[in-house]
Amino acid sequence: MNRWDELNHLFSRTGAIVTFGLNALYGRHQIRKGVWGGAWDSSNACDFMNYTVLKGYKIDSWEYGNELSGSGVSASVSAELYGKDLIKLKDVVNNLYKNSDLKPSLVAPGGFFDKQWYAKLLQVTGSGIVNFVTHHIYNLGAGMDPNLVNKILDPHYLSKVSETFSNLSQTIQQNGPWASAWVGESGGAYNSGGRHVSDTFVNSFWYLDQLGMASRYNTKVYCRQTLVGGHYGLLNTTTLVPNPDYYSALLWHRLMGKGVLAVGSNASPFLRSYAHCSKGRAGITLLLINLSNQTDFIISVQNSMDMRLTVEENISGENSFVRGLKRSVSWVGSRASDEPLYREEYHLTAKDGNLQSRTMVLNGIPLELTEDENIPNLDPVRLDVNSPLYINPLSISFIVFPNFDAPACA
């Protein structure tokens, strides 16, 4: 258990929120190719959890199994068996933590979404057993696919995964409304991600778009594969220097609050937009993703009783045209004060315009570790709220409106 002790020392020092996965195949046997049956042997899990409790280690949640749902990945277990195991595991957790102020949640199944399988699991377990329903997403396909960059920059391709989010949300509402959805694992492209893609700037178009989309479908937690390891690691596996997605995750974490605001639009599909209540402060934060390689978007925002965005598209090599854009939004804003209003802008681009650069640029400044190997300051530029908002081709922007009074964020 020395390794587990060392890890918990790290968790304690860093404030990590820990979900630990338990082996759901222990004691089972293969009854036919790819399908496992028989009784789950919980002794190993019980001993491990008991040791964790005795040592006083804080575990936020225990997850049961990994990629065994539906037809599984190399192995699968029926939803009926899985559900019965979860009822048993819940009793174990309740017993082990009966004298503890902290009672971890139970998370399952940690696999790829299969509507019938997930529905059956929730029906078998019933109310109060599974707290969070996890699924894995690798919607970009194999890391070796030479078309990864094209997929990432194709808004229609990125939108396809919304069907998975929607179906899971409906499945939970219909069969287990006491539970919430998590993305338990996602790295864009599977098999360690794409070399010179997953560890470069271009991957943030996929990553931030999926964070925004997941939030729209009431996803409570999104676990990125991985912190260190493979091409999709947030840190370089050799130097531990942050890859571009690390800074994307950090800005999302700092700026985007839990309140999700609906934004309807008839703008070009290449302009992706998401809105949240700002984190830890008044106002709202917009995430704007320009997937176009030739179109600038110029957006005028009026902070009035009905928020209105007017978009002007400037296409390189052609005459520009202006499109009046009415957006149907679920939130209403008004001026919070008569003081001068401003907004904060965080514009992200690739160094030297190379989408497959490992260096992200924030407001014209490359994001590199300081001489002391600390994370650099992520400072916005502040502009008058009534000035036009420019979104350059192949760029990502977080825009904070601290004076926007949205009732949904009160």
pLDDT in tens, 10-37: 999 999 999 999 999 999 999 999 999 9
* Integer Cα distance of 369 and 41 in angstroms: 47
pLDDT in tens, 244-268: 999 999 999 999 999 998 776 667 8
Q: Which domains are present in the chain?
A: 2-256 (3.20.20.80), 271-409 (2.60.40)
Measured in whole angstroms, how far is the alpha carbon of residue 179 from the centre of its chain? Answer: 18
Mean pLDDT of the region 326-334: 32
Which positions are catalytic? 67, 185
Q: Computed over its alpha carbons, how large is the radius of gyration of the chain?
A: 23
Q: Which two tokens stand for residue 165?
A: 């989010």
Please report the pLDDT score of residue 264 as a whole number. Answer: 62
Please report the pLDDT score of residue 327 as a whole number. Answer: 30
How many C-beta atoms lie closer than 10 Å to residue 84's C-beta? 15
* Integer Cα distance of 290 and 402 in angstroms: 23
Pinpoint the alpha helices (H) of 155-243: 155-159, 162-175, 203-216
Q: Give rounded-to-5 percent helix, strand, coil for the chain.
A: 25, 30, 45
Q: Is the pLDDT of residue 336 over 60?
A: no
Check if the beta carbon of residue 130 is closer than 8 Å to that of residue 179: yes
45 or 311, greater pLDDT? 45
* Integer Cα distance of 284 and 28 in angstroms: 50
Q: Is the pLDDT of residue 279 over 50?
A: yes
Would the pTM of this model clear 0.95, i.e. be above it? no
Q: Which two tokens stand for residue 239?
A: 């130097």
Helices (H) and strands (E) in the chain, counts: 9, 22
Mean pLDDT of the region 95-112: 95
How many C-beta atoms lie closer than 10 Å to residue 114's C-beta? 20
Q: Is the pLDDT of residue 319 over 90?
A: no
